Amino acid sequence: MIDQTRLPDEEVVLVCRDVPALVEAIRRLAIRGAPLLGIAGAYGVALAAVRGDSVEGAAEALAGARPTARNLAWAVGRVQAAHSEAGTAEEGTAAALAMSQAIAAEEAAASAEMARHGLELVPEHARVLTHCNTGIFAAGGEGTAFAVVAAAHRAGRLTHLWVDETRPLLQGARLTAYEAARSGMPYSILPDSAAGSLFAHGAVDLVLVGADRIAADGGVANKVGTYPLAVLAHHHGVPFVVVAPTSTIDLATRSGAEIVIEQRPAEEITHLVGAPAAPAGSAAYNPAFDVTPPHLVTAIVTERGVASPVDARGVVSLCDSAQNCVKR
């Protein structure tokens, strides 16, 4: 996989030869994005099986590497189950690898379907605002929300893409802008704090974001800074659309208020490119995610269709007969 911390300066292939190395890569955000974390976690369990390491220990370490991302624990659990249900150790290894490959294929297929469903919500001449990174560096295929943006660009519906820089680690400026430039999209990067100005000037027609976990009531955990965008969109009458595969939906978490939010190191706030940006010893509040309540979400787009309005009934409708949404 590409080491995302090195972008946009250089594309460096990251090779993890054991599970501890993979866990470290996930924790330092060299590998990130909920669906991609699921794929990486799945292959991590298979890697442990191939190496003859403890599959149970690998699964526990991987599932706990980033607690908010639903896809990580979900995919790890599927591969661990496939391994444990096999007969011999050799059969278990083969089953783990096959399940990992199946999950990667499912996520790529889901990306294409999300793009197809989401495109129907994009108006002509759309000026779209997005947050964080939801493209090839975050998911299978072309991504989640970015896959919809890419589909709109190909269809001639995208007039401009507004890219939130996404503090503190600049996933929007470093990654989304990188993908937009490679795709030939018209785009601009803005400070997160400038989003209100865009809305006030009537320069946003649609907000498209991804999700790291969706609760049973439709509450959405996503990169910190998403909730303020939803409030702004609601105030200005702009559709706020979440794009995520059904593997992100967690029916066992009844509401967004119950989602565990990962807290990141203070140094991500108090330092800039390794240099101090605040007085020594400054405390910092650095949640990786925030939660947007369902009444602020216009629609949730998945590979199985669109839920709107967003409420418990709509979320369950996306999960009927879908193994990805089985309550665990």
Q: Report the catalytic residues.
A: 212
In angstroms, the CA 222 to CA 210 distance is 7
Token pair listed for 98: 């096959």
Exposed e or buried b per residue across 229-249, where buried means at least 16 C-beta atoms within 10 angstroms of its C-beta: bbebbbeeebbbbbbbbbbbb
Q: Quick check: 79 and 46 in contact, CB under 8 A?
A: yes
In angstroms, the CA 148 to CA 25 distance is 28
Containing 199, the helix (H) or strand (E) segment is helix 195-200
In angstroms, the CA 142 to CA 145 distance is 9
**How many C-beta neighbours within 10 Å does residue 72 have?**
29
Token pair listed for 253: 């978490």
Q: Tell how far CA 318 is from the center of its chain.
A: 18
In angstroms, the CA 239 to CA 248 distance is 21
Q: Which of 101, 96, 21 is nearest to 62 (CA)?
A: 21
Q: Which burial class, exposed, middle or buried, applies to 85 when counting CB atoms under 10 A from its CB (0-12, 13-18, 19+)?
A: exposed
* Phi/psi of residue 320, nearest 5 degrees: -55, 120
Q: Quick check: 39 and 103 in contact, CB under 8 A?
A: yes
Q: Which of 121, 129, 122 is nearest to 156 (CA)?
A: 122
